[in-house]
Amino acid sequence: MIRRARGMRDILPEDEIERKRIISIIERNYQEYGFDPVSHPAVERLDVLEAKSGEGIKTEIFRFDDGELGLRFDLTVSLARMYSENSGLPLPFKRYAIEKVWRREEPQYGRYREFTQADADIVGSSSMRCEAELIACACNTLADLGIKEYKVYVNNRKLLNATLRHIGLDDARIDTAIRCIDKLDKKGKAEVVKELAQNGITNGGEIVDAFTKGIEYYEQIEECKEGVDELKKLFSYLEMYGIRNYEFDPSIARGLGYYTGPIFEIKSADKQLGTIAAGGRYDGLIGIYAGQQVPAVGISFGVDRMANLFKKENSSRTYTDIVLVNVKEENIKACINYAKKMREKGVAVRIDLMERSMKKQMEYASAIGAAYVGIIGDNEEKSGTITLKNLGTGEQKNVNLEDAVKIIKGETRAKSV
């Protein structure tokens, strides 16, 4: 049998409706926080994709057969490349993008090679107000999503770099060490020390210890001053936004190669949900494409895992509010007419498109998960009414069209647009 490509999936209505609900909440928050939408091309030149991506991601790029093009693995690289081609934009440039990205990873249960990122980025400002604005926006989004138990973990790449240099690592080994430290949370201390040793870094114990200290430790290291000052500034802005549930965590590292300043992860108390949003400052990335340094900072929500986990609670299998059932073949004209009027009022309606019996039509309404059926026979046609049946409660009554619309709109779920 011919089938879908490995690691790819179709998102069927049950999942897609929930995914769209989550996306629309994120999108509304991005808009309220003053971000405007941009859509980037899925296909980018390989030299763009590989310029500053870090070694890990290069092996995961979907490459085309011309040897010149690939699919984007995130939206930040496209933003940086885009900005370099549109340098006249008023700064700060605040853009959001909610689009799919592709990585040729080994597929796992619930993890696909295509997934959706919902990003907001601020280009052109070095102020810590940007980081605070992004974190505040994310916290508000979480509240709207009904996620109450979470914490914002904040670190600064400048601290990571300065501390590792202070301990005595050279630049080449700093990148390796950061990749190892990034796993501290998941793998634990012993495993990370072992991994550091495997990479030729023998003072792993000292390194790991450094990244479990409080901010006071870093304040005493001269090379860390800039990074500490930035974080203090950021924390004071977070307080202005009324955000209290943040925490300095020196072990937060973020995998991607392009971060240069503050980095942050928002983690749910629910371990299954894990990291909901994450981001950081990448003041060096745009410069690679634009030829001049342009500061920038961004945040990204992973939509898919949320959609998977929320599905059970909010599951709505269809947007369709009502299935209109024609009792006899001749009643189809009335059904079409009623459907037209209800749709004009914003009700989502299906009619019988298979010329089936009334019984089959009723079964179909249940099968798709519609909230109501509206039965239309000769009596209803004559009196201009419909017999409205609530499929949840089984309750049934004869009402005119106007009342039917009121009942349906009052009780059924909201559309996505």
Query: Taking CB under 8 A as the criterion, which residues in 193-222 touch its own copies?
Result: none
Which CB sits closer to its own copies, 27 or 74? 27
Which CB sits closer to its own copies, 208 or 404? 404
CB-CB contact of 124 with 295 (8 Å): yes
What's the one-letter identity of residue 114? E
- Closest approach, Cβ 164 to its own copies, in A, equals 30
- Strand 349-350 relative to strand 396-400: parallel, antiparallel, unpaired? unpaired
- Closest approach, Cβ 242 to its own copies, in A, equals 7
Question: Which tokens belong to 111?
Answer: 């993890």
Chain residues 118-147 in contact with its own copies, contact rule CB under 8 A: 122, 124-125, 127, 129-130, 133, 136, 140
Chain residues 226-265 in contact with its own copies, contact rule CB under 8 A: 237, 240-242
User: Is residue 414 near its own copies by the rule CB under 8 A?
Assistant: no
User: Is residue 63 near its own copies by the rule CB under 8 A?
Assistant: yes
Using CA atoms in the order 139, 144, 145, 151, what is the torsion angle rounded to 10 degrees? 20
* C-alpha closest to that of 321 among 356, 345, 337, 355: 345
- Single out the segment in contact with its own copies by CB under 8 A; choices: 168-176, 183-191, 265-273, 331-339: 331-339
> Per-residue string for binding with its own copies, 308-327, x by CB under 8 A?
----------xxx--x----
Chain residues 284-303 in contact with its own copies, contact rule CB under 8 A: 288-289, 291
- Single out the segment in contact with its own copies by CB under 8 A; choices: 82-90, 176-184, 201-209, 266-274: 82-90
Which CB sits closer to its own copies, 51 or 197? 51
- Closest approach, Cβ 334 to its own copies, in A, equals 9
User: Is residue 354 near its own copies by the rule CB under 8 A?
Assistant: yes
* C-alpha closest to that of 278 among 261, 259, 264: 264
- Single out the segment in contact with its own copies by CB under 8 A; choices: 20-28, 247-255, 261-269, 272-280: 20-28
Of 153, 211, 282, 364, the one binding its own copies (CB under 8 A) is 364
User: Is residue 158 near its own copies by the rule CB under 8 A?
Assistant: no
User: Is residue 190 near its own copies by the rule CB under 8 A?
Assistant: no
Which CB sits closer to its own copies, 82 or 164? 82
User: Is residue 399 near its own copies by the rule CB under 8 A?
Assistant: no
Torsion region of 144: left, alpha or beta (phi above 0 gives left; psi -120 to 50 gives alpha)? alpha
- Closest approach, Cβ 27 to its own copies, in A, equals 5
- Single out the segment in contact with its own copies by CB under 8 A; choices: 4-12, 148-156, 161-169, 206-214: 4-12
- Closest approach, Cβ 55 to its own copies, in A, equals 19
Of 4, 148, 186, 312, the one binding its own copies (CB under 8 A) is 4
The Cβ of residue 385 has, within 10 Å, a number of other Cβ atoms equal to 19
Report how far residue 241's alpha carbon sits from residue 377's, in angstroms, rounded to the nearest whole number: 59
Of 325, 349, 386, 388, the one binding its own copies (CB under 8 A) is 349
Identify the sign of the CA torsion 116, 120, 124, 125.
Answer: negative
Inter-axis angle of helices 225-240 and 157-167, nearest 10: 150
Which CB sits closer to its own copies, 29 or 268? 29
Report how far residue 163's alpha carbon sits from residue 215's, in angstroms, rounded to the nearest whole number: 12
User: Is residue 56 near its own copies by the rule CB under 8 A?
Assistant: no
User: Is residue 34 near its own copies by the rule CB under 8 A?
Assistant: yes
CB-CB contact of 190 with 180 (8 Å): no
DSSP letters along 161-194, please? HHHHHHHT--HHHHHHHHHHHTTHHHH-HHHHHH
Report how far residue 164's alpha carbon sits from residue 116's, in angstroms, rounded to the nearest whole number: 34
Which CB sits closer to its own copies, 94 or 157? 94
CA–chain centroid gap for 306, Å, is 8
Q: Which residues on adjacent β-strands are paired with residue 94?
A: 122
Tell me how many degrees the CA angle 307-309-312 measures, rounded to the nearest 5. 95
Report how far residue 141's alpha carbon sits from residue 156's, in angstroms, rounded to the nearest whole number: 23
